[in-house]
Amino acid sequence: MIPFIDDLSKLIHPTSLPLHLLDNLSKVLYPASIADYVALSILFLAGATYLSRGFLWDKPDPYYHLAFERPQLKHGSGLNSVARETRNIAQKLAESNKNIVVFWGSQSGTAEGFANRLTRDISLRFGSQGALSADLSDFDPSSIAQLPPSTIAIFILSTYGEGDPSDNTAEFWDWMTKANKGETVIDLPNLRYFAFGLGNTNYKFYNRVVDVVVDALNSLGATALLPVARANDAEGTTQEDFIAWRDSLFTLFRTTLGLQESDLHYLPTIAVQEDTSLEPIDLHHGEPDLHVNANRPGYSAVRPLRLIASRPLFHRSSPRHCLHLDLDLSSQPEFTYKTGDHLAIWPSNPDDEVSRLLSLLGLLSSSSTPITIHSIDPSTTKIKIPSPTTPLALLRHYLEICAPLNRDSLHALAQFAPTPSAKHTLHHLATSKSAYASFTSHNHITLARLMLLVCPDQPTWPALPLSYLIESLPPLQPRYYSISSSSVLSPRKLSITVLVASSPIPNSPAQTIEGVVSNYLLAAGESVSPSPSPLPAASASASAHHRPKTKVQYTLSGPGGSLSPSPQTQLLYAHLRKSKFKLPRVSTCPLIMVCAGTGFAPFRAFLAERRQLLQIGREVGEMLLFFGCRTAEEDYIYQEEVEDVQAVLGDRLRVVMAFSREDAMPRRYVQDRIGETGDAVVRLLEEEGANLYICGRAAMAREVEKAVGVEMQRVKGWSEEQVGEWRKGIKRRNKWQEDVWG
């Protein structure tokens, strides 16, 4: 290569060229006129100007970004403010002068709410030093070993699914299990602790998380000051279980630890102030934090999705409502789902409940007045409500104002009662478990409804501050729905199946408890056109005529009108959550699907994919579907679709219905039908290697698991221990999957 370049340089060297060629080159390479000189000068100046950009001119303004900052976020009052804090819990307690820490692991917010309540009660009852509420994900779990002997740790931990810890418990859970196995060498001889678990006996692994943590703590030398306590949501006693445990905790505080208890008086941990200097552009009008899932694997961001169609699924004879909703993903290219995933809907509270509470607080005329919310002690109290905002946005979009109140809340509310009679009534309900149970069996006591019931002649409660509501009411949470469409057949449009909740009060059937999110979706569905129906023309016409009407009114335009960009368009805030509830990769793998009611949603997508595979010439495995509902005439959802799929799949699909309220036949549930078809179930599971899927309520899933175990024992002659080992193995290989809820 180098000799070639040398030779080439000789060829073009001026001395090697003829004179006539040199003359020609000089004419080309040198300016011949004033125009050439001007052109060269312009080119030179343009190049110099471009190269000096950012050095001699157009320097970036170091303060340019300030024009786009919200002033309120500079002081940490917004959701997006970030404070760099220590992850060492011992150091955090020392900095905040606290000697009690309440750790919480929460999936749906219940454990977090209990932790905050307990922290506040400790601070109010046992002195100013008080306690610190600690999200387990905020701290390095190994720093627990550095807690001094004078510190008390309290663990409030939830269990969900198949004995799984909450998302924010993952790091602590890994550390605990490794320490328990001896993979991490650590001792906790100085740790004194209490533990309370939240679980549900409808799930097989009832309160597994708190039990595993307690075993690990004890094996590492920690001292339990009370036996572990457990709440059982299956019996609806979670609140009472917590109150009983907390009372025993406080008794030990007084008798054993020698802490002095004072009278309970409300001391706010947050301050709420009006600020009329703020403009609407400065405020949070109720929009969810769009980046709330930024650090949660498997979750998408929160985005507005367009609701494009809605149709009823129950027949006209049913007094209940169930909806099929279609949502368009085209405007959100980053939204990609897979068959079996979940969609979360972010709702608002119903208008009547919002107006009722604003009126009782005396805030109707000032509902849109800007308010700021900040923590009195930022080191211990985190504000999860965006600030600044308005009372209207606070009650419509940010707080769970429709949730029933527990006895603790009644006790605290009594001090704000406007009349002695109302105060006496609240004290009686708060201190008498039987009186509270009787009262709630006749009344749905949201905060506003309770205030009206105990004091019907008082138009306002002037002593009740907004700070109390923010501290006492849980944040409004999204609700999750199994996606009922196939990502293969419909990648940019997904559907969900929604049962509209409306439950009568046991001893007052004229009153009903309306589900917040399902009725919100019912109202939203009324504003869009019906979705294309797979029904025959006559049935489709009858179904469209029977479109349900909501009894609950919602402001569907969304925060600041953000969900109504144009007429005839309805948007919903939503996000996706990945699921492990998936079809096998091999299409010939047999399937056993067990569901009841809206639990059929993911199986609708499963069957659609299998039908498509068969139609394009792929072989598919045998399928057995157990489907439970009340009656064929009332709530057999997607009946025509099921029959159509069955006609295409032929003998590859067998549908076994379980009707629990048919007049002409005895009640049958899906677990009963499994017992009646046990030979086929065992054959598919053992001989054909089928995957088993269960979707529906946890109580149903538990009974199905029992029924399958009984059939394995009958057909295979196995013992209970052998069935247990088989069940563990099939679940470990991910061939037994459940998508269940409480």
Q: What would the pLDDT profile of 723-734 be if each residue is shown by its tens digit?
A: 999 999 999 999
pLDDT at 595 (0 to 100): 97
More confident residue, 67 or 122: 122
3.30.70.20, 3.40.50.300, 3.40.50.80, 3.30.1950.10: CATH of 591-741: 3.40.50.80
Distance CA 481, CA 205 (A): 23
731 SS3 class: helix
pLDDT at 487 (0 to 100): 97
The pTM of this model reads 0.82
Domain coordinates of the chain in residue numbers? Answer: 2-51, 90-255, 300-347+478-579, 348-473, 591-741
Structure tokens at 729: 């193995």
Residue 683 is classified by DSSP as: I
Strands (E), 561-665: 570-577, 591-596, 623-629, 653-659
3.40.50.360, 3.30.43.10, 3.20.80.10, 3.40.50.300: CATH of 90-255: 3.40.50.360
Q: How confident is the model at residue 14 (pLDDT cuts 50, 70, 90)?
A: very low
Residues 6+ apart with CB under 8 A from 468: 266, 268, 412, 416
Distances (CA, A) of 688 to 588, 592, 684, 685: 10, 11, 5, 6
3-class SS shares of the chain: helix, strand, coil, % to 5: 40, 20, 40
Residue 208 has pLDDT above 70, yes or no: yes
Residue type (1 letter), 144: I
Residue type (1 letter), 703: E
Give the whole-number percent of the chain exceeding pLDDT 70.
86
Residue type (1 letter), 15: T
Residues 6+ apart with CB under 8 A from 607: 623, 625, 642, 645, 649, 653
Backbone angles phi, psi at 514, to 5 degrees: -95, 130
Handedness of CA 90, 376, 368, 284 (dihedral sign): negative
**CATH (residue range 300-347+478-579):** 2.40.30.10
Structure tokens at 649: 């799949």
Identical fold for domains 90-255 and 591-741, yes or no, is yes
More confident residue, 567 or 301: 301
Q: What would the pLDDT profile of 26-40 be if each residue is shown by its tens digit?
A: 555 556 677 777 777
Q: What would the pLDDT profile of 61-100 be if each residue is shown by its tens digit?
A: 444 433 434 444 433 444 444 345 788 999 999 988 889 9
Q: What would the pLDDT profile of 600-626 be if each residue is shown by its tens digit?
A: 999 999 999 999 999 999 999 999 999
Residue 3 has pLDDT above 60, yes or no: no
pLDDT at 307 (0 to 100): 96
Handedness of CA 353, 355, 356, 361 (dihedral sign): positive
Backbone angles phi, psi at 195, to 5 degrees: -145, 140
Distance CA 162, CA 199 (A): 11
Give the chain's mean pLDDT: 86
348-473: CATH architecture: Up-down Bundle (1.20)
CB 376 within 8 A of CB 271: yes
Structure tokens at 82: 């970030």
Residue type (1 letter), 463: A
Distance CA 524, CA 70 (A): 32
